[in-house]
Structure 1
Amino acid sequence: MHSRRMQMVMDRAAIALSTACAIHCLLLPILLVALPALATTSIGRESFHRLLLWFAFPVSVLALTQGCRRHKDRIVLIAGVLGLVLITTTTFIGESFLNENSERLAMVVGATALSFGHFRNYRLCNKNNCKNNCKF
């Protein structure tokens, strides 16, 4: 069942996951200096990005697709696709092609674009009062 409530929950979850990714990118170096033991946990590893992406990607695609079908806003689609491409590309090939600062910047820009897309999607669905019976 694809209801307005489910749409909003998916957008909120995707915003939270994107934000967690950005915070992880920005604060991890500081935390590793302050608490070196974190390096031995899953939070201190690059695989943490893959784990976040594993959850964020399907939720984002579903939420953005449903929202865009309802309100037809291209900015949501562009921001969402840009964010997903940056995050996915950086997660899987960023280490090989980018230095640490560039990788961090790409992840933060991607997470910001994705969060913006979901925030706008959330607002438009709320504003347009997307109904439970919208055709998909």
Structure 2
Amino acid sequence: MGENISRRMNLDTLGISASLLCAVHCAVLPLLLGALPLLGFELAENEMLEYGLLLSSFLIGCISLGRGYIRHHRRVMPLLLFAAGFALLLAGHFIPQAVLAEYYLICFGAAGIIAAHLINLRQSRHCRVHKH
């Protein structure tokens, strides 16, 4: 039964969605910084939201990519892309630098994570370890 649930809710799709949400949050939010206080929103200063997005992206990625590696394709490329993308995300959030550098680090990090999920999804569908 657990396998049926995980088949219906594809973790790679969830990981792609989480990474896109994080990228949109990080890309659009600086553009709206002037308007948010006028509207009563404090999203820019909400560290819990930042940590929640990072944690969910990391957990979903580890579960999805780990499962794809172990059960399906045994290819390391999605894992390496995910690790590089997540390292860029962390650098963009926690290493002090100019705002433009932060924007690029986060965008490239999210793109790396999305690419890792897409490759994992494709390689899991063309499974070499198990015969379907």
TM tier, shorter chain?
0.7 to 0.9
**Contact kept? 1:32, 1:39, Cα under 8 Å:** no
Q: Which runs of 5+ in 2 are unaligned?
A: none
2:45 counterpart residue number: 45
Give the aligned partner of residue 134 of structure 1. Answer: none
Matches of 1:86 and 1:13, distance apart in 2: 20
Hey, what does 1:67 align to over in structure 2? Answer: 68
Q: How many residues align?
A: 129
Structure 1: how far apart are the matches of 2:108 and 2:54? 15
Higher relative contact order (CA 8 A, sep 6+): 1
Deviation (angstroms), 1:32: 2.4
* Superposed CA RMSD: 2.9
1:98-122 per-residue CA deviation (whole Å, 9 max, x = no partner) reads 2111111111111100010001111
TM-score (structure 1 length as normaliser): 0.77
- Give the alignment's TM-score, normalised by structure 2: 0.79
Indicate the SS of the match to 2:34: helix
> Aligned equivalents of 1:74 and 1:12: distance in 2?
19
- 56, 79, 82: which one pairs with 1:80? 82
Code of the residue aligned with 1:117 in structure 2: it is A
Structure 1 segment 80-99 matched on structure 2, within 5 A: 80-91=82-93, 93-94=94-95, 97-99=96-98
* 1:39-62 deviation per Cα after TM superposition (whole angstroms, max 9, x unaligned): 733x32352321201211111111
Identity of aligned residues (%): 25
In structure 2, the partner of 1:6 is: 6
Q: 1:23 to 1:2 in 2, by over 3 A?
A: same
